[in-house]
């Protein structure tokens, strides 16, 4: 309306359409139509005041006389259907293809695109409000993708991430390069950030990363158990954003972009420690002393002068960095954590337990009761086994070795020792379990009866487990050997086992 009012003033002064068009206010064709409409409404009379802008807008929005009416859209019968598809998030090319395939639509994709544009223009705009914070009230946390750095163990290039915590009021930040986004890494980064700031904010705003939130939900989010204990130990509250709404932590999102665009490009890093050193120097130098685009102040000045004294003090005994897991006990009496195996008492087989891992120890709980403690293992596939956790038969297999069996057999008697020694001397089979079961017969009967049974089995040349067990079961060990049996001089000392002289053979 301001431009049209200028044009009408110049027309009243007698300027031609050519001169007005030369000034760049409007083309000559439109100037002719405007002059015609203004003359019909007596707007060119310098003695009459110009109408108000609203009146001119209403008068000029009508199509001029003689102009053909606007053509009807070729999609007028499909508008309701297309509106529903647009609400479902279906893209325009898919809508055009469906119209052609299902309804025989012969129009172009441009018609569909114009209709979708009108539908979007009719929707109410998305309105938001800026979040404000007081000094020391909150910090926002996020991860960003870092550069490829050499792994210190293998030397191969490996993907990294950088952790960022930004204080919402001063915009001072802490950043750190890490190898992963695991729970213990997440907690360690929080600890380093709080030490960097020299205090703890009252609230930490996060997204729904698995290392922090186990169940993402607007109304009832579930916090990772280790993170909840950490928040309680440091005295801050966790404030997760609603799912799929990262704008609720836009301050740290901007900080991540700032590192990606201002720090990472055109830099070289020898290793992670070098990258971390450069990053900290940059935060305290260029980033911390710039004029922030939103606050229009220097972040480090705002932090040092106002926000730092208002942070909560660091705890005297900070919480231990740990991770909780819910492993199930395997049939061998072990649970798995980080590809390593830890034993628990065998009565918990097939049960689901709680496991709390730190950098040095692994503790395993049944409900609230501690049932096992192990040193932390780091080599995948390694085992930490406590002998008392195994069932009795497994303990016997591990503790009752060959030397133990020989010592026990010698204590029972010479014949028992001879049987055990003969079984262990076999060159084909390992008789360890057999010997363990044989020696266990002394508990069921008595050492003396076992010795007698072994003597009888040795005498008849059948020193095996089953014959000895049958002798004990039938009580044959309590019967004396026959006189023929006792004459070992003629049986074993002369000629061999099955040789008899004529006197003994026909006795």
3-state secondary structure labels for all residues of 132-169:
CCCCCCEEEEEEEEEEEEECCCCCCEEEEEEEEEEECC
pLDDT at 147: 95
Measured in degrees and rounded to the nearest 5, phi and psi for residue 405 equal -65, -40
434 and 297, same domain (yes or no): no
Residue pair 182/189 in contact by the 8 Å Cβ criterion: no
146 and 275, same domain (yes or no): yes
For the chain, the distance separating the N- and C-terminal CA atoms, rounded to the nearest angstrom, is: 145
414 and 483, same domain (yes or no): yes
Residue pair 342/372 in contact by the 8 Å Cβ criterion: yes
Residue pair 375/342 in contact by the 8 Å Cβ criterion: no
pLDDT at 219: 83
| Listed residue (407, 320, 309) closest to 359, CA to CA | 320
Measured in degrees and rounded to the nearest 5, phi and psi for residue 425 equal -80, -5
pLDDT at 1: 83
464 and 410, same domain (yes or no): yes
Q: Average the pLDDT over 238-252 and give the result.
A: 87
pLDDT at 401: 81
Residue 31, domain extent: 2-60
Cα–Cα distance, 438 to 229 (Å, whole number):
54
348 and 488, same domain (yes or no): no
Cα–Cα distance, 152 to 165 (Å, whole number):
26
Question: Does residue 288 sit within a domain?
Answer: yes
pTM for this model (two decimals) = 0.69
User: Long-range contacts made by residues 117-126, C-beta under 8 angstroms, separation at least 24?
Assistant: 119/82, 119/83, 119/86, 120/86
Domain boundary among 261, 289, 310: 310
Question: Does residue 254 sit within a domain?
Answer: yes
Question: Does residue 71 sit within a domain?
Answer: no
Note the pLDDT tens digit of each residue in 369-417.
Answer: 999 999 999 999 999 999 888 887 776 666 778 888 999 999 999 999 9
Question: Does residue 201 sit within a domain?
Answer: yes
Question: Does residue 130 sit within a domain?
Answer: no
Residue pair 160/177 in contact by the 8 Å Cβ criterion: yes
Number of domains in the chain: 5
Domain boundary among 15, 35, 60: 60
Lowest mean pLDDT segment, chosen from 9-13, 91-95, 268-272, 390-394: 390-394
pLDDT at 64: 47
Cα–Cα distance, 424 to 433 (Å, whole number):
11
pLDDT at 497 over 80: no
pLDDT band of 63, cuts 50, 70, 90: low
Question: Does residue 65 sit within a domain?
Answer: no
157 and 201, same domain (yes or no): yes
269 and 202, same domain (yes or no): yes
| Listed residue (187, 177, 143) closest to 356, CA to CA | 187
pLDDT at 387: 85
Measured in degrees and rounded to the nearest 5, phi and psi for residue 433 equal -65, -40
373 and 246, same domain (yes or no): no
pLDDT at 501: 52
pLDDT at 505: 47
Q: Given strand 383-384, what is the order of strands in its sheet?
A: 334-337, 340-343, 383-384
Cα–Cα distance, 224 to 182 (Å, whole number):
11
Question: Does residue 68 sit within a domain?
Answer: no
pLDDT at 275 over 70: yes
47 and 86, same domain (yes or no): no
pLDDT at 128 over 90: no
pLDDT at 77: 87
Q: What is the DSSP letter of 195?
A: H
Cα–Cα distance, 318 to 321 (Å, whole number):
9
Query: Residue 4 belongs to what H/E stretch?
Result: helix 2-12
56 and 85, same domain (yes or no): no
Q: What angle do CA 427, 433, 436 make, to 5 degrees?
A: 115
385 and 404, same domain (yes or no): no
pLDDT at 489: 42
pLDDT at 53 over 50: yes
pLDDT at 71 over 60: no
305 and 167, same domain (yes or no): yes
Cα–Cα distance, 376 to 185 (Å, whole number):
16
pLDDT at 140 over 90: yes
Lowest mean pLDDT segment, chosen from 236-240, 242-246, 358-362, 460-464: 242-246
Question: Does residue 303 sit within a domain?
Answer: yes
């Amino acid at each position: 309306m301001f431009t049209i009012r200028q044009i009408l003033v110049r027309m009243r002064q007698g300027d031609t359409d050519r001169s007005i068009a030369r000034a760049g206010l409007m083309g000559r064709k439109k100037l002719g139509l405007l002059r015609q409409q203004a003359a019909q409404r007596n707007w060119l009379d310098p003695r009459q005041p110009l109408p108000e802008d609203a009146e001119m807008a209403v008068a000029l929005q009508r199509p001029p006389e003689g102009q053909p009416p606007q053509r009807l859209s070729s999609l007028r019968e499909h508008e309701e259907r297309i509106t529903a598809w647009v609400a479902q998030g279906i893209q325009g090319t898919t809508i055009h293809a469906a119209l052609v395939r299902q309804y025989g639509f012969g129009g172009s994709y441009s018609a569909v695109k114009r209709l979708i544009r009108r539908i979007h223009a009719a929707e109410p705009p998305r309105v938001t409000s800026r979040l404000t914070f007081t000094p020391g009230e909150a910090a926002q946390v996020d991860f960003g993708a870092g550069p490829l750095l050499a792994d210190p163990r293998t030397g191969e290039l490996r993907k990294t991430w950088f952790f960022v915590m930004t204080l919402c009021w001063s915009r001072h930040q802490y950043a750190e390069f890490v190898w992963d986004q695991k729970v213990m890494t997440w907690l360690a980064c929080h600890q380093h950030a709080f030490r960097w700031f020299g205090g703890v904010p009252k609230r930490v705003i996060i997204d729904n990363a698995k290392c922090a939130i186990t169940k993402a939900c607007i109304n009832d989010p579930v916090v990772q158990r280790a993170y909840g204990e950490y928040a309680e130990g440091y005295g801050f509250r966790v404030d997760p954003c609603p799912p799929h709404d990262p704008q609720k932590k836009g301050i740290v999102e901007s900080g991540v972009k700032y590192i990606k665009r201002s720090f990472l490009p055109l830099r070289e890093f020898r290793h992670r420690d070098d990258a971390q050193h450069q990053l900290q120097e940059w935060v305290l130098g260029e980033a911390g002393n710039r004029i922030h685009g939103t606050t229009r102040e220097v972040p480090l000045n705002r932090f040092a002068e106002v926000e730092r004294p208002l942070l909560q003090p660091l705890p005297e005994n900070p919480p231990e960095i740990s991770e909780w897991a819910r492993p199930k006990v395997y049939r061998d009496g072990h649970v798995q954590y980080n590809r390593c195996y830890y034993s628990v008492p065998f009565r918990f087989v097939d049960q689901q337990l709680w496991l709390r891992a730190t950098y040095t120890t692994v503790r395993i709980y049944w409900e609230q009761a501690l049932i096992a403690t192990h040193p932390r293992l780091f080599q995948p596939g390694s085992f930490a086994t406590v002998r008392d956790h195994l069932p009795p038969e497994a303990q016997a297999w591990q503790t009752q070795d060959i030397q133990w069996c020989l010592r026990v057999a010698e204590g029972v008697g010479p014949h028992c020792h001879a049987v055990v020694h003969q079984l262990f001397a076999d060159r084909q089979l390992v008789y360890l379990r057999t010997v363990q079961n044989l020696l266990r017969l002394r508990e069921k009967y008595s050492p003396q009866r076992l010795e007698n049974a072994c003597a009888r089995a040795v005498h008849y040349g059948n020193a095996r487990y089953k014959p000895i067990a049958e002798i004990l079961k039938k009580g044959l060990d309590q019967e004396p050997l026959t006189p023929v049996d006792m004459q070992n001089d003629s049986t074993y000392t002369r000629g061999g086992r099955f040789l008899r002289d004529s006197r003994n053979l026909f006795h």
